[in-house]
Homo-oligomer: A and B are copies of this chain.
Amino acid sequence: MQVLWLALTFDIHAFIHCDGSVDLMLVLLGFRLIVVLFDHVRIPRENMLMRFAKVTKEGKYIQPVHDKLSYGSMVTLRVSLINDAGWQLGRAVTVAVRYTTVRRQFNTPPNPSSSSSSPLDALETQVIAYSSVRARLFPFIALAYALIVASTTVKDMFEQMSAELADEQTNLLAQVHALTCGLKSWGTRKAAEGIEECRKAMGGHGYSAFSGISELFANYIPSNTYEGTRTLSRSSDYLKPTPACFQNKQPHFDDIPRFLLKELQKATTGSETLTDLSNYINRAIKTSGPTDLSRTSLLDPHTQLTLFEVRATRVVMDLAQQVRTGRDWADLNVECWNASVAHTEYVILKCFMEKIEGLEKDPNVEGMEVVALKRTLKKLCHLYALSTVSSALASFLSTQTLQPDHVQSVNDHLRDLLKDTAPDAVPMTDAFAFSDYYLNSALGRYDGQSYLGLWDAAQADPVNSEAWKTKAYEVGLVWAVWVV
């Protein structure tokens, strides 16, 4: 078995090294970061991973053509994290939707004027029928789909970029780097919040180890941190965008806010073409005041997209305004984060809509399935759009993309959409096709036998074995004698 090490030789360079005991740690304990000191160890040349940097047979170290070429592997990791965010969130919401469908709580007393308890044979209300439970869970079904769909678009861009990198072309690298930074930090954060919200929505049983969610959360949460949270920007004047740096053709490895400021600059001066996922700024900078919703519906995809475009553009314009007032870049972290979020939420909506539009041409979808699939995905896309407007309402209102008297309409549409989603919630999550083995949850069993699942899991707990009970009783007797 072989271990891949990153070590400082001439530069940071990956190579392969064999060591029995370290292998064992990896096998036994999962992923660990270890510091290893080498003393007179020779790494065979064939063990050097020489995709871009090379070592000649004479031992000469040759730098890659561009020093950013190896950044491609960081982008790879982020692309997979965006995809994983969708699937892990899907896993939690599958368990929660199944359990809240099975679980019943409270019911209407038989006599409206009496507070006596209801007859034992009356079924209580399904937990999933409560509006607050729907409002908590269903947006995460939509978000799981949205993240998975967006990750396929990003993966396509990434593969194109990789093909170009193989030819040592770095044109796409800056754009894909910025895009994946935004999606990764936003997506993993939202997914972790969603997993915990699913646990809370299941009440007391959600905290049980048998729910499977507590372990999922503990395993998932580090993804928020690794590969960066994008909340810290370097406090450097050098990095502050200036007209000179806007014109620079070399790829700058900026996070998404600096990328957006450059795109805004391009749109303002009309000097260069914007990228496919940012050219909405060209349209949106020409708007002013609140969006006119009097002749259109919040369920119109074009209207939804316009709202997200206008809001994102104005958040970036606010950031640019703050930069112009001379505030230090390090002092603008919060505004940068807001710009990153607004753009990312737009990108996800855009990807989702394009995927739905392109279904007819998708060779993986049978002709007969397109209509039904499109209807369901459209519902999920609406739900993503409106629940995002609702959760980011402060941003839509403060940029005057929406005005306060639109809020009731947003709430009404969202409520109708949640009601409309209810009959589909179980099939929508079944469609993730997780096996019971993979879900590892007594509450989220495919057959809906949550309580049987809990009972079986409790019986299988070593603490309930005969041996343990006997032992506990013996120790208890000693304890009782000692106390008395």
**Chain A residues close to B by CB (< 8 Å):** 1, 19-25, 29, 105-109, 112-115, 125, 127, 129-133, 135-136, 196, 200, 203-204, 206-207, 214, 218, 221-222, 224-226, 229, 231-238, 330-334, 336-337, 393-394, 397-400, 403-404, 407, 415, 463, 469, 472-473, 475-477, 479-480, 483
Contact = CB atoms under 8 A, between A and B. Distances in A.
Contact of A235 (B108, B399, B483): B108
A481 B71 CA distance: 37
Number of copies: 2
A400 to B, nearest CB: 5
Given A200-B225, A394-B397, A398-B407, A24 B472 contact: yes
Given A23-B480, A207-B225, A398-B404, 18 more contacts: A20-B473, A21-B473, A24-B472, A24-B479, A29-B463, A105-B232, A106-B234, A106-B236, A107-B235, A115-B238, A129-B235, A131-B331, A131-B334, A132-B233, A132-B337, A200-B229, A207-B222, A393-B394
A204 B221 CA distance: 11
A174 B415 CA distance: 31
A132 B231 contact: yes
A398 to B, nearest CB: 4
A230 to B, nearest CB: 9
A77 B131 CA distance: 28
Contacts of A196: 221
Contacts of A233: 130, 132
22 contacts: A1-B483, A20-B476, A20-B477, A21-B476, A24-B479, A25-B472, A29-B463, A105-B232, A108-B237, A109-B238, A113-B238, A130-B233, A130-B330, A130-B333, A132-B232, A132-B337, A393-B394, A393-B397, A394-B394, A397-B404, A399-B404, A400-B404
Given A105-B232, A398-B393, A480 B20 contact: yes
